[in-house]
């Protein structure tokens, strides 16, 4: 597609940078767009959040803007949408790309009033229930929709011509095989004879960590040199339940809650196997980047056979496990705990090749650029 003579102004919107997951996904794309063709801006509700400084340091202009509103009562909601449309007009974007996870349609309506093309990324598998009508309106008002897995296309947008498949990508120059980080091993008292199973996820119920703990408790009896490291924020009610379960299963020495960590690639360096036991319920997954990061770092992986994950592991069916099935997970862990470090390393190398070919961040960016150019030129 030939480059345009005018730079296309893209305004990325996200509620906040309080939790870095979606914020990182946005910034990974925003800062890599071709500066010859695109002028990038970001809008968010406030300047709080640990990741906000990283966004500012990127040099991308950031607008603090309340770009959504409550729609009921409708007369007040419509008036507020008009006011938001005036604020959007001042920024003058050609395209707005929303990374808002919720079923809000006020932003889309405000963009439509302002005459600005509006795109949203569908990031999880939630749709029905009380939010169904809002999702339908959000979709109807959108100029285009970026979906992260093929199940989304089949379940939510089968008849739509607005949809483009844009799975998450990973920076393979950062997430790569590294020697084991001895500082981290020392910090968490991982000995030279210990072997490490790792899960990286915010501890929320959909992640199925309780299934992992129960399965691990069964498998570790025969393999006492294995440790399970849980990396992610557990400072919530679900996290407290997991700690109680750890004690109940007598896994105080075998399971380590590491909390939220900024240097995930260094933690992956000490692991042989990475697991993601997401449940087949609720919002499930979109395109889980933690799994891609582990694969890029040449780790052997096991994960639930649910939306998003089943795209990423489509070529590795034997590594997909039934979600929520403790026995299936226990058997898989038992089998893999019996294998050598060399075996896991060899399998991990195949996973890295798969990511290099199918999920590099450059491919995600290219797909976004193609979508923007198509929208602009139409």
The lowest-confidence range among 5-9, 208-212, 319-323 is: 5-9
Q: Is 90 helix (H, G, I), strand (E, B) or coil?
A: helix
pLDDT > 60? residue 122: yes
Encoding tokens for residue 375? 């929208």
Contacts of 300 (CB under 8 A, 6+ apart): 272, 273, 274, 319, 336, 343, 344, 347, 348, 351
pLDDT confidence of residue 247: 98
The CATH architecture to which 182-358 belongs is 3-Layer(aba) Sandwich (3.40)
Pick the CATH number of 8-169+360-377 from 3.10.580.10, 3.40.50.2300, 3.40.50.2000, 3.40.190.10: 3.40.50.2000
pLDDT confidence of residue 20: 65
- Going by C-alpha positions, the residue among 91, 148, 87, 94 that lies closest to residue 116 is 94
pLDDT band at 272 (very low <50, low <70, confident <90, very high): very high
pLDDT > 90? residue 21: no
How far is it, in rounded angstroms, from Cα 274 to Cα 230?
Answer: 10
pLDDT confidence of residue 192: 95
* Mean pLDDT, range 57-76, rounded to an integer: 97
pLDDT band at 22 (very low <50, low <70, confident <90, very high): confident
pLDDT confidence of residue 94: 98
- pLDDT per residue as tens digits for the range 225-271: 999 999 999 999 999 999 999 999 999 999 999 999 999 999 999 99
DSSP string, 18-75: SSHHHHHHHHHHHTTS-TTTEEEEEEES-S-STTHHHHHHTT--EEE--------SHH
* Mean pLDDT, range 193-203, rounded to an integer: 96
pLDDT > 70? residue 103: yes
Q: In CATH terms, are 8-169+360-377 and 182-358 the same topology? A: yes
pLDDT > 80? residue 283: no
pLDDT > 90? residue 378: no
pLDDT > 70? residue 1: no
Q: Computed over its alpha carbons, how large is the radius of gyration of the chain?
A: 22
Q: Per this entry, what is the length of the chain?
A: 378
- In whole numbers, what is the pLDDT of the chain averaged over residues? 96
**Contact present, 94 and 129 (Cβ < 8 Å):** no
pLDDT confidence of residue 298: 98
User: Domain-by-domain residue ranges, the chain?
Assistant: 8-169+360-377, 182-358
Burial class from Cβ neighbours inside 10 Å (0-12, 13-18, 19+) for residue 219 reads buried
How far is it, in rounded angstroms, from Cα 235 to Cα 259?
Answer: 8
How far is it, in rounded angstroms, from Cα 336 to Cα 318?
Answer: 12
- Going by C-alpha positions, the residue among 23, 25, 6, 27 that lies closest to residue 15 is 23
pLDDT confidence of residue 95: 98
pLDDT over 90 for what percent of the chain? 91
pLDDT band at 311 (very low <50, low <70, confident <90, very high): very high
pLDDT > 90? residue 159: no
- Going by C-alpha positions, the residue among 363, 283, 278 that lies closest to residue 313 is 278
pLDDT > 70? residue 4: no
- pLDDT per residue as tens digits for the range 93-102: 999 999 998 8
pLDDT > 80? residue 19: no
- Going by C-alpha positions, the residue among 203, 204, 206, 182 that lies closest to residue 194 is 182
pTM of model > 0.75: yes
Beta-bridged to residue 163, according to DSSP, are 145
How far is it, in rounded angstroms, from Cα 265 to Cα 276?
Answer: 16
pLDDT confidence of residue 322: 98
pLDDT band at 49 (very low <50, low <70, confident <90, very high): confident
């Amino acid at each position: 597609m030939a480059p345009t003579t005018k730079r296309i102004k893209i305004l990325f919107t996200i509620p906040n940078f309080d939790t870095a997951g979606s914020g990182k996904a946005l910034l990974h794309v925003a800062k890599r767009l071709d500066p010859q063709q695109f002028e990038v801006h970001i809008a968010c509700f406030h300047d709080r959040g640990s990741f906000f400084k990283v966004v500012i340091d990127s040099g991308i202009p950031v607008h603090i803007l309340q770009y959504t509103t409550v729609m009921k009562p409708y007369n007040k909601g419509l008036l507020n949408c008009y006011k938001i449309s005036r604020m959007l007009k001042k920024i003058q974007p050609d395209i707005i790309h929303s990374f808002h996870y919720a079923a809000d349609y006020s932003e889309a309506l405000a963009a439509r009033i302002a005459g600005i093309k509006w795109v949203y990324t569908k990031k999880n598998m939630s749709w029905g229930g009380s939010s169904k009508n809002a999702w339908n309106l959000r979709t109807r008002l959108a100029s285009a929709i970026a979906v992260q897995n093929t199940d989304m296309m089949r379940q939510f947008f089968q008849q739509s011509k607005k949809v483009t498949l844009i799975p998450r990508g990973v920076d393979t120059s950062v997430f790569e095989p590294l020697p084991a980080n001895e500082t981290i091993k020392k910090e968490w008292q991982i000995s030279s004879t210990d072997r490490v199973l790792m899960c990286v996820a915010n501890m929320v119920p959909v992640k199925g960590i309780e299934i992992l703990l129960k399965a691990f408790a069964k498998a570790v009896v025969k393999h006492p040199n294995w440790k399970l490291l849980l990396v992610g924020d557990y400072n919530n009610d679900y996290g407290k339940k997991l700690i109680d379960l750890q004690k109940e299963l007598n896994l105080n020495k075998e399971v380590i809650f590491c909390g939220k960590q900024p240097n995930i690639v260094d933690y992956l360096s000490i692991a042989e196997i990475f697991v993601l036991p997401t449940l087949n319920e609720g919002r499930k997954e979109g395109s889980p980047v933690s799994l891609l990061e582990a694969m890029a770092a040449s780790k052997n992986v096991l994960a639930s056979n649910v939306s998003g994950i089943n795209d990423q592991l489509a070529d590795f069916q034997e590594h997909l496990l039934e979600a929520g099935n403790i026995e299936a997970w226990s058997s898989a862990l038992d089998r893999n705990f019996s294998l050598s470090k060399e075996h896991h390393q060899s399998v991990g190398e195949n996973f890295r090749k798969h990511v290099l070919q199918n999920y590099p961040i450059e491919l995600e960016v290219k797909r976004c650029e193609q979508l923007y150019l198509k929208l602009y030129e139409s």
